[in-house]
Structure 1
Amino acid sequence: MSEDETRRTPADPLLRVIDNLARFHREHEEYYSQAPLRQAAELQARSRALKSLADRWSEAEAGERTSAIGFAGAEDLNAPGLVAESGILFMEGEDEPAELRRLKREVGTIADDTEQGGAWLARAMEQAWEIAGSLAAYPALADLLGERHRIIADDWQSAGLQTLVARLLRRALDLLARVDFSPAALRADLEGEREAPRYLYAASELFDRAADLMAESAMLVHGNERRWRVFRARVRELRSEHG
């Protein structure tokens, strides 16, 4: 056995680890190149709902209670077409619509999940960075080390975007918490300063930016697909050469 072969043999288990990471993390990233796009589309739909209400409440005049019968729709508060699109229905004798409560609850869950995902990815990239440095011992991988580090850098950037998305969503929820969505309170606001529409516009804009960053995160991850494929093919070649 040559001196060069003796030097490389102890590192062979590392190649097995790298091959495993390249396989499963590529598959993992295939999922995360799509899932944020679906979430972004859903978030944009929630943003449109808030804007529709804000548009309505910026112009509508406060009306009288539509009916003494509970569950009747509030003519002055419901935005045209929004009930069918989102299910958000303001009813007489009721408090905040259940659909709005669900919207805020779901956005809070997205914020929690995104923050946790970003933190996990950042930790994973810390470890990946250290492992990638060890690959310099393999001259056959030298021309692909830039690609491997680009994967890590893009994933690290994606982790930061996820953390920012969570912050934006939580701040949007803070703004929505400033609005009393009961029909009586909203009518009082229509007759007064019309503060509710301003808070809704601001929250919707934060939703929009969060959705944009979700899409950007997905694009970063998606851009790694070919890098993973080429890198793993070279690793497998190197493993076969060294048994």
Structure 2
Amino acid sequence: MAEDEARLSPPEPLLQLIDNLARFHREHEEYYAQAPLRQATELQARSRVLKALADRWSVVGVGERASAAGFAGTEDLNAPGLVAESGVLFMEGEGEPAELRRLRREVRQAADDAEQTGGWLARAMEQAWEIAGGLAAHPALADLLGERHRIIANDWQSAALQSLIARMLRRALDLLARVDFTPAALRADLAGERQAPAYLYSASELLDRAADLMAESAMLVHDNERRWRVFRARVRALRSA
């Protein structure tokens, strides 16, 4: 029996390579089954900031300056409870709040990270697909080829989601760039067509959808965990034989 199994299994150097890949790629995916969930939570928090401001600016009337002195909080522009939650504070005589600039910078960084991750993962899956096809020549692994290709398919789909996430985040930034966040410009908008709330709502919806896709990406990668265990257990058994 052992002789038959050895005859049907891949050569030892290939088994060693497969074992290495199964071990380290499983550990790598354990990280990417969790990290997108944290990123999704952070995106949702940023989206709530935009919605809170849009809600406020959709209904509030243009107020008088709270004080002629600088650094006084603007009574009309600040959303109730938002300052304590996010730090976003509009002040008289000042420009765009630093926290909003930071929000946009963080979204831009998230878009760059998603694009890089998606691109790298897609290229890796191209190579993995070719390698997995070659395993069909070894009957000892035939019943696990479905598991291995499912892993690749999940990762490939996750790569596509990451690329789409990057696009959505960048489009949200494009919409936010349409809004002048200085108090004077916002008050002029409130007294006129109130375009700022519309842009903020749309940008927040893009952030929300990107967060949903991040969670989907994590679910796809998490689905691989058992498949990696089964695949590596077979490889180790063949190496022992």
Shared fold per TM-score greater than 0.5: yes
- Within 5 Å, give how 1:122-201 maps onto structure 2: 122-201=122-201
In the alignment, residue 67 of structure 1 is paired with which amino acid? S
Moved over 3 A (4+): 2-9
2:208 is aligned to 208
Distance 1:98 1:177 in 2: 15
Shift of 1:13: 1.2
Q: Secondary structure at the match of 1:234?
A: helix
The corresponding residue for 2:47 is 47
Residue 120 (1) aligns with residue 120 (2): yes
Q: How many residues align?
A: 239
Identity of aligned residues (%): 80
- What do the CA deviations read for 1:101-147 (whole angstroms, capped 9, x no partner)? 00000000000011000000001101111111121122121111100
The residue type paired with residue 19 of structure 2 is: D
Q: What's 2:83 paired with?
A: 83
Q: Does the alignment pair 1:110 with 2:110?
A: yes
Aligned to 1:24: 24
Structural RMSD (CA): 1.5
CA distance in 1, matches of 2:75, 2:5: 82
- Counterpart of 1:93, as a letter, is G
- The 10-residue stretch of structure 1 (160-169 or 130-139) with the greater mean CA deviation from structure 2: 130-139
SS at match of 1:192: coil
Question: Structure 1, unaligned stretches of length 5 or more?
Answer: none
Shift of 1:172: 0.1
- In the alignment, does 2:66 pair up with 1:66? yes
User: How far does residue 239 in structure 1 lie from its aligned partner after superposition?
Assistant: 1.4
CA deviation after TM superposition for structure 1 residue 8, in Å: 6.0
Q: Cα distance, 1:159 vs. partner?
A: 0.1
Between the aligned partners of 1:89 and 1:95, the Cα distance in structure 2 is: 10
Report the residue type matching 1:20 in the other structure: N
Q: CA–CA distance in 1 between the matches of 2:4 and 2:240?
A: 19
Cα displacement (A) at 1:12: 2.4
TM-score (norm 1): 0.95
TM superposition score normalised by structure 2:
0.96
Structure 2: unaligned runs, 5 residues or longer: none
Provide closer, same or farther for how the CA distance between residues 52 and 4 of structure 1 changes in structure 2, counting only shifts above 3 A.
closer
